[in-house]
Every structure is written in C-alpha cells, then in structure tokens.
Homo-oligomer: A and B are copies of this chain.
Amino acid sequence: MSQNISLTPNPLTREAFAPYGNVIEKPGARHFPMNGGKLERYYDLADIRVGAESEGRPVMSIASCCEASKLPLQIRFLERHPHGSQAIYPLFKETMIVVVAPPGERILAEQIQAFYSNGHQGINFHVGVWHLPIIALEDGQEFMLVDRGGPNPNCDEFHFENKQAVRLLPIGDKQTAPST
C-alpha cells in the first residue's frame, strides 16, 4: 500500500511526550532552594541512562548548527540509540522540532509524531525510541547534548521505503495530503 502522510508538529508537552521521553523544563518539575536560597533548583529533569552494564558513560557535548533545516521536509529515516538515552537542550532559547516513533523493530509511518518546543524546553529520548536527529531551524543555534559514550555501537537507523513518504510540515501548517 502506498502512503502519503503529512505531519504537522504539535506543541511539546510532558503528557504528549511521555511515551517517548522527558521534556526538560522548569514548569511541573520538583524544585527546592539551593545555595542558601539564592537559587532555585529544578531537579532531576531527565531519566538519563548510559548503560553502565555495557561500559557506557555520560558524555556532554555541544552541537552547533551549520546548515539549518527547512520545512517542509521528507522523513526518509529515523534513528534510535539502543544502549542509552539522549538529552538535547537548546542553548539559544530556540524552537526545536522533535520527530519520534515508538520503540520496536519496525516503524509504521502513521505512528510517527512531531512536536515543537517553546524555546525553553529540551527533550530526553528514552532508550530505543526512534527519532529524527536534531532539526535546527536557524544557523548558529546550539544545543547541549548528554548521551552515552562507550565501546559498543549505539545508533540504528530505520529507512522508509520510497513509497512510504512522510512529509513534515511547518509549524501551524494544517495542510494534509490525501492518502492514495
């Protein structure tokens, strides 16, 4: 069966994103004073897993965008990290587009979901959740990453067949292509 699915990003919320991972944000987080009350600490915002049993360790990186993505775009593949979570937080308060699908050996195109963040939200993909790599919408944007480093391969890709075209539309674009 040939499919033509168009996908419009929805607002990123903890509830909607819960099957895929954490939303890293202050609202709704447990918080308490630190440093004698000079700062408020919003605590434990991401369930970070690095697979210590497979010699994994937490790795912090900064990703800097040198070629912004343009929407609409065709989703041709998703990736997953079988041995670790992956946290991504925007350092320039920028909106991110996040594309995900549930864990499993195959991905059905209609299972793919897209979200957009409000600029003060990061995300943490749970282990094994399918996702698109970072979609940055402007050159020069930067993201803090915390994910797994270690000796074993930790990235699988699932490529869609050509006839399974999934089109990611701009935020707010309600256009839907007819299924054929």
Q: Does A65 contact B (CB under 8 A)?
A: yes
Residue contact A62 to B146, C-beta cutoff 8 Å? no
Contacts of A35 in B (CB 8 A): 133-134
Number of copies: 2
Residue contact A37 to B66, C-beta cutoff 8 Å? yes
Chain A interface category by residue count: 35 or more
Residue contact A61 to B41, C-beta cutoff 8 Å? yes
Q: Does A44 contact B (CB under 8 A)?
A: yes
Q: Does A149 contact B (CB under 8 A)?
A: yes
Q: Does A67 contact B (CB under 8 A)?
A: yes
Since A26-B62, A35-B133 are in contact, a sample of 9 more A-B pairs with Cβ atoms closer than 8 Å, ordered by chain A residue number, is A34-B63, A38-B68, A39-B133, A40-B63, A41-B62, A42-B64, A46-B60, A60-B87, A144-B144
Q: Which residues of A contact B (CB under 8 A)?
A: 24, 26, 29, 34-46, 48, 50, 52, 57-69, 87, 89, 91, 124, 133-134, 136, 143-146, 149
